[in-house]
Amino acid sequence: MTKTEVKAQALQLPESERLALASELWASVQDPNAYPEAVALPQWQRDLLDERLEESKNDPGKPWAEVKAEIWPTGS
């Protein structure tokens, strides 16, 4: 069965079953033991992510209200 055929069949399922299927598929990708090549990162990406994570430890971020105001300014 091809990916196109699987997709066509999945889209015929009721919404609740499609959501359950999507959840199961996502869980299989999140589990590195289930599909290791799907989540494998090159070392340079791991290093970059580690660097950014370390930098973010000293940044408290912004309150949601401030971020929301930047994204959706009122009165414009």
pLDDT given at position 9: 95
Task: Confirm whether 58 is domain-assigned.
Answer: yes
pLDDT given at position 17: 95
What's the mean pLDDT in 7-25? 94
Task: Confirm whether 18 is domain-assigned.
Answer: yes
Task: Confirm whether 49 is domain-assigned.
Answer: yes
Give per-residue pLDDT as tens, 33-56: 666 666 678 899 989 999 999 988
Which sign, positive or negative, has the C-alpha torsion 5, 6, 9, 12?
Answer: negative
pLDDT given at position 12: 96
Q: Give residue 65's domain range.
A: 3-71
Task: Confirm whether 27 is domain-assigned.
Answer: yes
Task: Confirm whether 37 is domain-assigned.
Answer: yes
Tokens of 8: 């066509």
Q: How many domains does the chain have?
A: 1
pTM, two decimal places: 0.42
